[in-house]
């Protein structure tokens, strides 16, 4: 039956592309994906598959109960976009100013919708129940996964699987981990309040730019000099805002950045070390400060048995020539909440587009659309492997 399912997915490839390109042209940012959610709901309405919407926010879950006994497995796809201007010169370029599917969630949605359409035709032969889990708001904490779990919609689920079309991994390559797979992504902002003045009289000021620059430099030494070298963390400053004129010393500076970690004890240590450094530098420069630290998603930890199952399932997907275990990546994913509650695994489906070297969250981001059916085939192969347990 699996081969017949894969053949049907191949037949639906043009529809996958159409869905992905439509969604790419009409993206919606996190927590505002009402039209996208309705598009998904309407698709299930036409298929005649029961569904619920507004789950935990804009989430949509469709349920396909097979004709044979078995376990209940959720297959997840996210569908939010990012506040990025699409700079690609392609026919399916975003038509929404300043909003773009720069992470592949449009492809995830196309993959899961067409998989549902395919499995509807095999419902009588299907063992168990598939929950087609369409999740909103993956990109921004608190995200959509946590409220979906809190809604109770997954209480009866035995396992959950998900994939990400990964634009920096070659087509035909599957990557996963049997342990920690993705980092915990936190956010922080620091405001330094000094005393401005004339650019020609720096001794009469408390230069917020100079103080902020010391912070940029010294915060990096947390990773290089205060953490165990065998531990992993990242501290990155993404924004540094200060000053209004070339000859005026700024009185205020704002720094915004992210911390990435794999272990909870590292997160705790980084937070404490940051506070000490910020306080020390500001006291030394007779300035005041505010420091806000927002904890994001926890690290995504796969269950070893389910990750092994994904690797085994990939052997039944002809388009996959390499399935490998990889070291954790420092991007974050709120799929982490699912594997905290249920057995499951997350994996990358290689989707690198030839001639397009741009990473996720880039204005030129794009994927090789041939990866969309590969993702669907692997998800359903994993589903059937899980039913054998």
pLDDT digits (tens, 9 = 90+) for 292-341: 999 999 999 999 999 999 999 999 999 999 999 999 999 999 999 999 99
Domain with CATH 3.30.70.360 in the chain: 184-294
pLDDT at 132: 99
Three-class SS state of 37: helix
389 pLDDT exceeds 90?
A: no
Catalytic residue among 28, 80, 106, 369: 80
Chain centroid, CA 275 distance in Å: 28
Could you give phi then psi for residue 34, rounded to 5 degrees? -70, -40
**Is the per-residue pLDDT at 212 higher than 90?**
yes
- Which neighbouring-strand residues pair with 133? 61, 76
pLDDT of residue 241: 98
Active site residue 268: no
Question: Which residues does the annotation place in the binding site for Mn(2+)?
Answer: 103, 105, 139, 164, 361
Q: Outline which parts of the chain fall under CATH 3.40.630.10.
A: 2-182+299-387
Q: Over 90: is that where the pLDDT of 133 sits?
A: yes
Q: CATH for 184-294?
A: 3.30.70.360
If one counts every other C-beta atom within 10 angstroms of the C-beta of residue 226, the result is: 14
> How many angstroms separate the CA atoms of 65 and 70, rounded?
10
Judged against a pLDDT cut of 90, whether residue 157 lies above it is answered with yes
Give the pair of three-digit tokens for residue 251: 């009185």
| pLDDT, average across residues 211-219 | 98
The residues that bridge with 160 in the sheet, in sequence order, are: 74, 344
Q: Are 305 and 179 in contact (CB under 8 A)?
A: no
Share of the chain above pLDDT 70, in %: 100
Biggest CA pair distance of the chain: 82
CB-CB neighbours of 328 under 10 Å: 17
Which residues are annotated as part of the binding site? 103, 105, 139, 164, 361
Q: State the chain's mean pLDDT as an integer.
A: 98
Annotated catalytic residue within 106, 138, 158, 333:
138
User: Does the active-site annotation cover 368?
Assistant: no
Identify the pLDDT of residue 351.
98
User: Taking the model in full, what pTM does it have?
Assistant: 0.95
Superfamily of domain 2-182+299-387: Zn peptidases (3.40.630.10)
Split at pLDDT 50, 70, 90, the class of 343 is very high
Tell me the average pLDDT across 221-239.
Answer: 97
């Amino acid at each position: 039956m699996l081969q017949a399912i894969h053949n049907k997915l191949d037949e639906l490839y043009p529809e996958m592309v159409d869905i992905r390109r439509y969604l790419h042209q009409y993206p919606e940012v996190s927590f505002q994906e009402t039209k996208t959610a309705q598009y998904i709901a309407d698709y299930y309405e036409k298929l005649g598959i029961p569904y619920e919407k507004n789950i935990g926010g804009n989430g949509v879950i469709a349920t396909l109960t097979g004709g044979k006994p078995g376990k209940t497995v959720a297959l997840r796809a996210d569908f939010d976009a990012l506040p990025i201007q699409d700079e690609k010169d392609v026919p399916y370029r975003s038509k929404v100013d300043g909003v773009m599917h720069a992470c592949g969630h449009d492809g995830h949605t196309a993959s899961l919708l067409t998989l549902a359409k395919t499995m509807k035709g095999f419902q009588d032969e299907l063992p168990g129940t598939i929950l087609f889990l369409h999740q909103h708001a993956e990109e921004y904490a608190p995200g959509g996964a946590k409220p979906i779990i809190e809604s109770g919609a997954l209480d009866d689920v035995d396992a959950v699987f998900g994939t990400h079309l990964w634009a920096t991994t070659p087509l035909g390559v599957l990557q996963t981990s049997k342990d920690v797979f993705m980092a915990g992504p936190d956010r922080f902002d620091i405001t330094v309040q000094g005393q401005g003045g004339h650019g020609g009289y720096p001794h009469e000021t408390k230069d917020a730019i100079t103080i902020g620059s010391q912070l940029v430099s010294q915060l990096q030494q947390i990773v290089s000099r205060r953490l165990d070298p065998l531990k992993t963390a990242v501290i990155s400053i993404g924004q540094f805002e200060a000053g209004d004129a070339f000859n005026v010393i700024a009185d205020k500076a704002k720094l915004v950045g992210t911390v990435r970690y794999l272990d909870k004890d590292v997160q705790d240590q980084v937070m404490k070390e940051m506070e000490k450094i910020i306080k020390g530098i500001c006291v030394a420069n007779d300035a005041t400060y505010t420091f806000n630290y927002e904890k994001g998603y926890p690290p995504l930890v796969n269950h070893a048995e389910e990750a092994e199952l994904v690797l085994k399932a990939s052997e039944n997907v002809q388009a996959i020539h390499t399935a490998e275990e990889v070291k954790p990546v420092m991007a974050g994913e709120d799929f982490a909440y699912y594997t905290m509650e249920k057995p499951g695994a997350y994996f990358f489906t290689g989707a690198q587009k030839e001639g397009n070297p741009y990473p996720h969250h880039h204005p030129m981001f794009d994927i090789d659309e041939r990866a969309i059916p590969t993702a669907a085939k692997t998800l359903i192969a994993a589903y059937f492997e899980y039913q054998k347990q």
